[in-house]
């Protein structure tokens, strides 16, 4: 039992979670704190981080809240600088920040919506990885970078699922950055992996969809989604916590460059 506890123990570690004000980001920050890590949490609006901050403090860990827009390189640089100033290091980076736009067909996608989603989901993650890697290369202990991808970074989606080509392209790009980062920086003890969730309830993207789709559209999409999932249900947000902890801890010390789906069997057929 002590071996198992040590394997997943994050005591003495410093973790960073972007997009931590709600949903997956908040759940990831809580998971890391409860495993023993001190946590830096970021979002565009610092006030929205208060609930996550309280959760981490309740777990008995130190927390630093930073307002940062990952699509802005100066914000990302400052985010890393503030992390180092307070904690002197970064052991775990969870690049979770992401957005969606209203669903339209591929040929109807507006350039503005394309660029907005790519700037956050892909270019923003690129900025984050650059600075995280630069810092981790200086550390003898290396580090673990965990990117939040999507099952839609592994496959396409039928038109009746109301896909967004900008989101799908961004997540395929995330997987490419993950694999290249893993190959280039393994010699420095830096591991880079990605989680690819399918349809999990309680995420910020689920909330965004509810804001831009009618109840009828949501219900119809839900029926199609469940029917095409072998497990015949959505995932629960807490069902990603174990996967995150595995990738953040020494339990995955020989795992890098992997895109691990949590999808109820979606990509198995």
Cα(53)–Cα(68) distance, integer angstroms: 15
Cα(36)–Cα(115) distance, integer angstroms: 38
Q: Is the pLDDT of residue 79 over 60?
A: yes
Residue 8 pLDDT: 96
Cα(160)–Cα(220) distance, integer angstroms: 9
Fold of 2-262: Rossmann fold (3.40.50)
Cα(16)–Cα(268) distance, integer angstroms: 32
Residue 1 pLDDT: 45
Greatest Cα-to-Cα distance within the chain, rounded to the nearest angstrom = 56
Predicted confidence (pLDDT) per residue in 181-238, tens digit: 999 999 999 999 999 999 888 765 655 555 556 787 777 778 888 888 888 888 899 9
Predicted confidence (pLDDT) per residue in 22-46, tens digit: 999 999 999 999 999 999 999 999 9
Which residue would you say has higher pLDDT here, 216 or 259? Answer: 259
With CA atoms as reference, report the closest residue to 24 among 176, 207, 153: 207
Q: Which residues are catalytic?
A: 167
Cα(114)–Cα(252) distance, integer angstroms: 35
Q: For the whole model, what pTM was predicted?
A: 0.93
Q: Is the pLDDT of residue 4 over 80?
A: no
Q: Retrieve residue 56's tokens.
A: 């981490």
Interior/surface letters 188-221, b for 16+ CB within 10 angstroms, e for the rest: eebbbbbbbbbbbebbbbbebbeeebeeeeeeeb
Residue 240 vs residues 76, 89, 244: alpha-carbon distances, Å: 26, 26, 6
């Amino acid at each position: 039992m002590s071996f198992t506890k040590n394997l997943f123990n994050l005591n003495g570690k410093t973790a960073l979670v972007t997009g931590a004000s709600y949903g997956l980001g908040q759940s990831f920050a809580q998971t890391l704190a409860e495993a023993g890590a001190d946590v830096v949490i970021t979002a565009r609006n610092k006030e929205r981080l208060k609930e996550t901050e309280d959760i981490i403090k309740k777990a008995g860990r130190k927390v630093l809240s930073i307002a940062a827009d990952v699509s802005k390189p100066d914000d990302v640089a400052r985010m890393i600088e503030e992390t180092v100033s307070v904690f002197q290091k970064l052991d775990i980076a969870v690049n979770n920040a992401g957005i969606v736009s209203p669903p339209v067909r591929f040929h109807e996608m507006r350039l503005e919506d394309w660029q907005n989603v790519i700037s956050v989901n892909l270019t923003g993650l690129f900025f984050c990885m650059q600075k995280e890697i630069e810092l981790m290369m200086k550390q003898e202990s290396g580090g673990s970078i965990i990117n939040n991808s999507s099952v839609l970074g592994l496959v396409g989606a039928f038109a009746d699922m109301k896909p967004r080509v900008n989101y799908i392209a961004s997540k395929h790009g995330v997987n490419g950055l993950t694999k290249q980062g893993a190959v280039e920086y393994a010699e420095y003890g830096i591991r880079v992996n990605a989680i690819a969730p399918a349809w999990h309830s309680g995420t910020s993207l689920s909330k965004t969809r509810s804001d831009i789709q009618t109840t009828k559209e949501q219900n119809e999409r839900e029926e199609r989604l469940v029917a095409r999932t072998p497990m015949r249900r959505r995932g629960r947000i807490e069902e990603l916590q174990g996967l995150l902890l595995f990738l953040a801890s020494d339990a995955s010390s020989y795992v890098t460059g992997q895109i691990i789906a949590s999808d109820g069997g979606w990509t198995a057929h």
